[in-house]
Amino acid sequence: MKKRLLLISIFIALCLSFGGFQYYKHQRIHNIFDEIYYEKSDYQNIEFLWRKSVFNNLNDIHITDNDSKDVYKHSVEYTASSLPRNIGKLGYQFYFSNYRAPEVFIFMRIKLPETKNTINVSYTYSVTNHDHPSNGWFVPGL
């Protein structure tokens, strides 16, 4: 009887621990930038059987990853065929080299109609500071 009670107690403790871990993992994502950044954990950890990495399901992107445990940069760039005609480039990069100030960098190149000119827009999101300054610049066509 004691052995059975002990096994039931251990099973309940394991279920509560697993549930608590899943709750913690769900609560750390508060916006789209956090969701993009925390996708990093899926690259370096074993995925759960019922949850696949989002990027495994997308066909129209080019993923750059060196498949090592100490990834400092991971980038995703959409292929030209999956973008509207006025968008020349679209993608994002993770920078993990400075673990105290990790960042997500989002970039887009917009083609101006009937010219060779482009407008480049970039956003850098600091995961630590929850800050996202944006930059833009005009590139004249040659």
pLDDT of residue 130: 72
Same domain, 64 and 116: yes
Same domain, 89 and 42: yes
Q: Are residues 2 and 64 in the same domain?
A: no
**Are 17 and 36 found together in one domain?**
no
Q: Is the pLDDT of residue 66 over 60?
A: no
Kindly state whether residues 64 and 104 are assigned to the same domain. yes
Is the pLDDT score of 101 beyond 60? yes
Given a cut of 60, whether residue 40 has pLDDT beyond it is no
Query: What percent of the residues of the chain are helix, what percent strand, and what percent coil, each to the nearest 5?
Result: 30, 30, 35
pLDDT score, position 33 = 60
When pLDDT is cut at 50, 70 and 90, the band that residue 21 belongs to is: confident
What is the 8-class DSSP label of residue 51? -
Percentage, residues of the chain above pLDDT 90 = 5
The total number of structural domains in the chain stands at: 2
CB-CB contact of 74 with 89 (8 Å): no
Residues 7, 69 within the same domain:
no
Residues 18 and 36 in one domain: no
pLDDT at 50 over 90: no
CA end-to-end span of the chain, whole Å?
A: 84
pLDDT at 49: 43
On whether both 54 and 114 belong to a single domain, the answer is yes
Domain of 22 in residue numbering reads as: 1-30
pLDDT of res. 84: 85
